[in-house]
């Protein structure tokens, strides 16, 4: 079943659907952030679960990374790298998610978005996707998402800087729009 052109152009509820999926995206990114010790340890993110389900754009527009992270790797992204991250987070119509992918299949925003994309023609999906792009790309930081996982962690990713300084080990990778700050406790 496809949504007809009239409905997608004039329906006030398309904006609500974009808002709903975008709002869930913000929450899911916080809920799915990596934990230490292969999922059994404490989170790299300082927010507890109750705080994570109430996150807003403010979290992703805060470049004082010590407010929300215990440990993190960051780098300033180029427009091309930010677009690549966006494509992983919001894949095009027809994309098949790998059964081995982490985080995406269990994220509500992703499942809702993938179901909604089935209702739209490719042309209408492009318009829907552009609305997401205008909301997501201006955020000051995003996870450095890959095709197989939202949250990458490793010992020392090439081109990234680790915070807090003088620490080591794996940590989530994030892509920033500009250089962030860090305050020691």
User: pLDDT confidence of 17, banded at 50, 70, 90?
Assistant: confident
Distance from C-alpha of 157 to C-alpha of 147, rounded to nearest angstrom: 17
The gap between the terminal CA atoms of the chain, to the nearest Å, is 55
Instruction: Check pLDDT > 70 for residue 56.
Output: yes
Which stretches of the chain are DSSP H helices? 5-10, 12-31, 49-52, 57-60, 79-89, 108-119, 122-136
CA 16 to the chain's CA centroid: 19
CA–CA distance, 92 with 104 (Å, rounded to integer):
14
Could you tell me the pTM of the whole model?
A: 0.87
Q: What is the mean pLDDT of residues 38-43?
A: 65
* More reliable by pLDDT, 180 or 6: 180
How far is Cα of residue 37 from the mean position of the Cα atoms in its chain? 22
- Angle at the Cα of 106 (from 43 to 115), degrees rounded to 5? 145
Residues linked to residue 162 through DSSP beta bridges, in sequence order: 73
Tell me which of 68-82, 94-108, 143-157 is least confident: 94-108
**Among residues of the chain, what percentage have pLDDT more than 90?**
56
3-state secondary structure of 144: coil
- What is the C-alpha separation between 68 and 54, in angstroms, rounded? 14
């Amino acid at each position: 079943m496809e949504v007809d052109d009239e409905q997608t152009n004039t329906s006030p509820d398309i904006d609500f659907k974009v808002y709903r999926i975008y709002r869930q995206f913000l929450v899911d990114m916080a809920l799915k952030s990596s934990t230490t010790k292969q999922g059994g340890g404490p989170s790299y993110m300082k927010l507890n679960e109750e705080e994570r389900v109430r996150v807003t754009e403010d979290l992703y527009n805060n470049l004082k990374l010590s407010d929300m992270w215990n440990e993190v790797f960051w780098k300033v992204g180029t427009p091309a790298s930010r677009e690549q991250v966006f494509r992983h987070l919001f894949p095009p119509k027809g994309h098949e998610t790998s059964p081995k992918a982490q985080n995406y299949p269990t994220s509500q925003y992703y499942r809702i978005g993938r179901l909604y994309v089935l209702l739209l023609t490719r042309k209408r999906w492009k318009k829907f996707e552009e609305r997401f792009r205008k909301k997501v790309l201006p955020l000051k930081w995003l996870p450095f998402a890959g095709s197989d996982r939202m949250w990458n962690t490793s010992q020392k990713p090439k081109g990234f800087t680790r915070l807090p300084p003088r620490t080591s080990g794996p940590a989530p990778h994030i892509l920033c729009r500009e250089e962030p700050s860090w305050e020691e406790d």
